[in-house]
Chains A and B, each alone.
Chain A
């Protein structure tokens, strides 16, 4: 059985004030040499731009600063500490070889303004990564510029809009299933499109007839998350693509869940016109606070002229940046995108190869279905279809029997040593617990995690208040999320000035 450590070591529990409340006037962590040049008055050089008062920075010694941040870091949870079952986020392990590659001096020390002739290795890596990604998803070209998934959506929709305008058309509507990622409608709105919601069919997949009924000459396209946020493969995608094409629309696939498809399904082969790929999900670059994201966007031939510029081209044995793309939607990111992530993703793909990537997908899907088989009797599954890389449970049974809800279960998981899963998403599943183990986790870890969830269900029947008041082992107990949202305090202010 899973055991809960109710009393963690003292060092996890102590109160850590903001750094502004630490230290003492005059204390310093640096010893500067005495002034050996004439003192200058900043106002002579900067006039009114010079500060009239010191900025009120905290004054601390080196040891104060080191301890403050080291203590805070011990409150962190990270993929290097344990399982991170955050559904829809693909929190897979980030291999250390990625970091070694990204730190190769020739990569790490590049400057964006170096002449092209001295950037050949970097450009070749970008050119090759583009081709690798295109081979994986079945498209002729891709841009590496977008900085994350939602930025990729923006890029894709800009290209769709540009392609319509190029044909003299200005359709306004994008269809989005209610099981799609929440960023999809936001990206539509940012692009001046109206998002039209399509209901998911009773069996959890998008219904071809529902798409047909929603189509019109005003349909600019459709955005499909595949697998959907229910963790289900949209098996009608090829038929839907044909229908959408028949009214002149384009098909955007949200590729955030690509980890379920590597080596198994190529969206480009199914009629998808454009998709984004999250390097920070599928291709093991750091996700969340660990580093910037990267959301390359791959396109079919019809959208290629509209790709952001510059593109990387190979001329003979030289690599070059191509700016002369008259129909391009323009530049979407400063310089070349989040370059360090390209090195990491390239390293991962080279390390695993085609067979390894296929195996990763197989294990990711197997792991999700294993958890489903172990937990389904306590946590009913939203969709009867076979799960892909993630599985959406609900609190339906426990809530009815014990009053314990998804949020309580998530908080109690913290006491068991896990990062909570994604909760209350997708919205179409009441009390959703969305769990994505990824291929990273071993059978032992999966069993321990399943045991923890089963122990919480058992505890909910025996002592529901214990679960409802979780977490118990953290430095701070359950936070007042409502008050934080209604009356947010977004910055620290000195005492007496609030």
Chain B
């Protein structure tokens, strides 16, 4: 898979990604989402210990163009938050799959991962979107 959508991640139609490691998932937004947003100026994230539910809004990203909601790809308890984003939101623009990760959660329902897209499926989803 291309650099744009790493093959080891799972994806949502709202352009979030999840990296599953055992019972935890690291969550971020995709290269495509970042391209659409433009320069990110602020990131609002939940606090450690909060629980998030799949498909619910868990935060927001503000860019020079707009404020966009973040939708949880999976359910679980927030165990880690990428706090450096508060001071350095450009990590999201520069490294959306690396230093630009958003939160890490402990999965409360690991079976939910079956509903996410693979990198290949996500790439096809983007192609379909573009055709419209």
Number of cross-chain contacts by CB at 8 Å: 22
Give Cα A401 to B57, complex, Å: 35
Query: How many residues from B make CB contacts under 8 Å with A?
Result: 12
Query: Is A110's CB within 8 Å of the partner chain B?
Result: no
Of all chain B residues, the one with the shortest Cβ separation from A405 is: B38
Of all chain A residues, the one with the shortest Cβ separation from B88 is: A486
- The answer to whether B64 and A485 have CB atoms under 8 Å apart is yes
- The answer to whether B64 and A427 have CB atoms under 8 Å apart is no
- The answer to whether A481 and B64 have CB atoms under 8 Å apart is yes
Assuming the contacts A430-B36, A486-B89, asked whether A424 and B66 have C-beta atoms less than 8 A apart, the reply is yes
Give Cα A425 to B63, complex, Å: 13
Of all chain B residues, the one with the shortest Cβ separation from A186 is: B67
How does the 8 Å CB contact mask read for B29-41 relative to A, with 1 for contact and 0 for none? 0000000100101
Interface set, chain B 32-53, CB cutoff 8 A to A: 36, 39, 41-42
Residues of A within 8 A of B62 (CB): 485
Interface set, chain A 47-87, CB cutoff 8 A to B: none
Of all chain B residues, the one with the shortest Cβ separation from A406 is: B65
Instruction: Find A482's partner among B41, B66, B67, B68 (CB 8 Å cutoff).
Output: B41
Residues of A within 8 A of B42 (CB): 485-486
- Chain A proximity of B13: nearest CB distance (Å): 11
Instruction: Find A486's partner among B41, B66, B68 (CB 8 Å cutoff).
Output: B41
Of all chain B residues, the one with the shortest Cβ separation from A195 is: B57
- Chain A proximity of B77: nearest CB distance (Å): 21
Residues of A within 8 A of B68 (CB): 427
- The answer to whether B66 and A427 have CB atoms under 8 Å apart is yes
Residues of A within 8 A of B89 (CB): 486
- Chain B proximity of A275: nearest CB distance (Å): 25
Interface set, chain A 419-433, CB cutoff 8 A to B: 423-425, 427, 430
- Chain A proximity of B88: nearest CB distance (Å): 9
Give Cα A76 to B41, complex, Å: 27
Of all chain A residues, the one with the shortest Cβ separation from B67 is: A182
How does the 8 Å CB contact mask read for B58-90 relative to A, with 1 for contact and 0 for none? 000010111110000000000000000000011
Residues of B within 8 A of A182 (CB): 67
Instruction: Name which of A182, A423, A425, A485 has the most chain B CB atoms within 10 A of its CB.
Output: A485
Give Cα A424 to B66, complex, Å: 7
Give Cα A424 to B89, complex, Å: 20
Of all chain B residues, the one with the shortest Cβ separation from A485 is: B41
Residues of A within 8 A of B39 (CB): 481-482, 485
Give Cα A423 to B62, complex, Å: 15
Residues of A within 8 A of B65 (CB): 423-424
- The answer to whether A482 and B36 have CB atoms under 8 Å apart is no
- Chain A proximity of B96: nearest CB distance (Å): 16
Interface set, chain A 475-498, CB cutoff 8 A to B: 481-482, 485-486
Give Cα A35 to B100, complex, Å: 66
- The answer to whether B66 and A425 have CB atoms under 8 Å apart is yes
How does the 8 Å CB contact mask read for A159-198 relative to B, with 1 for contact and 0 for none? 0000000000000000000000010000000000000000
Give Cα A182 to B62, complex, Å: 13
- Chain B proximity of A138: nearest CB distance (Å): 34
Residues of B within 8 A of A423 (CB): 65
Give Cα A425 to B89, complex, Å: 22
Give Cα A182 to B69, complex, Å: 12
Of all chain B residues, the one with the shortest Cβ separation from A427 is: B66
Instruction: Find B64's partner among A425, A430, A482 (CB 8 Å cutoff).
Output: A482
Residues of A within 8 A of B64 (CB): 481-482, 485
Of all chain B residues, the one with the shortest Cβ separation from A423 is: B65
Residues of B within 8 A of A485 (CB): 39, 41-42, 62, 64
Residues of A within 8 A of B66 (CB): 424-425, 427
How does the 8 Å CB contact mask read for B11-27 relative to A, with 1 for contact and 0 for none? 00000000000000000
Of all chain B residues, the one with the shortest Cβ separation from A481 is: B64
Residues of B within 8 A of A427 (CB): 66, 68
Residues of B within 8 A of A482 (CB): 39, 41, 64
Give Cα A424 to B62, complex, Å: 13
Give Cα A486 to B67, complex, Å: 14
- Chain B proximity of A182: nearest CB distance (Å): 8
Give Cα A486 to B93, complex, Å: 13
- Chain A proximity of B62: nearest CB distance (Å): 8
Residues of B within 8 A of A424 (CB): 65-66
Of all chain A residues, the one with the shortest Cβ separation from B93 is: A482
Give Cα A427 to B90, complex, Å: 21
- Chain A proximity of B23: nearest CB distance (Å): 29
Give Cα A246 to B31, complex, Å: 43
Closest 3 CB pairs of A and B: A485-B41, A482-B39, A424-B65
The chain A residues found within 8 Å of chain B, CB to CB, are 182, 423-425, 427, 430, 481-482, 485-486
The chain B residues found within 8 Å of chain A, CB to CB, are 36, 39, 41-42, 62, 64-68, 89-90
Known: A427-B68, A485-B41, A485-B62. 17 other contacts (CB 8 A): A182-B67, A423-B65, A424-B66, A425-B66, A427-B66, A430-B36, A481-B39, A481-B64, A482-B39, A482-B41, A482-B64, A485-B39, A485-B42, A486-B41, A486-B42, A486-B89, A486-B90
22 A-B contacts, Cβ less than 8 Å apart? A182-B67, A423-B65, A424-B65, A424-B66, A425-B66, A427-B66, A427-B68, A430-B36, A481-B39, A481-B64, A482-B39, A482-B41, A482-B64, A485-B39, A485-B41, A485-B42, A485-B62, A485-B64, A486-B41, A486-B42, A486-B89, A486-B90
